[in-house]
Structure 1
């Protein structure tokens, strides 16, 4: 399902989008879609890495933390 979004691009980005559209012979919306797909993949990868780091931080105990409170 496609939705129409209204947003404002700053002047520099709008000009670059126009230039690349002409150079690549692509519609500006195609360029934006491709760029956003790459951006979302990048952000998803960062989130997954952060979640993994957070999970590891909770499970990786040092020697003293692991044995703290254990009576042998």
Structure 2
């Protein structure tokens, strides 16, 4: 499997990447990897929240709904 991906960054993004690289003493690959990892974590959280909100309402009973009509 090929691990190379080609993408294009506009000149403003490249300038910021270089400037922050100098300020933070990090190479662009490290900064991009960190940024992507942050992005993936946020998107995974959104997907999990979306999945939970799409849960079938008939299987998500509250305490009172569950015990309604049960004689003890």
Give the structure-1-normalised TM-score. 0.72
Structure 1: distance between partners of 2:19 and 2:29: 13
Higher helix share: 1
Unaligned runs of 5+ in 1: 62-72
The residue matched to 1:7 in structure 2 has which SS?
Answer: coil
Aligned: 1:4 with 2:29:
no
Match of 2:46 in 1: 46
Match of 2:26 in 1: 26
Unaligned runs of 5+ in 2: 61-72
Give the structure-2-normalised TM-score. 0.72
CA RMSD of superposed structures (Å): 2.0
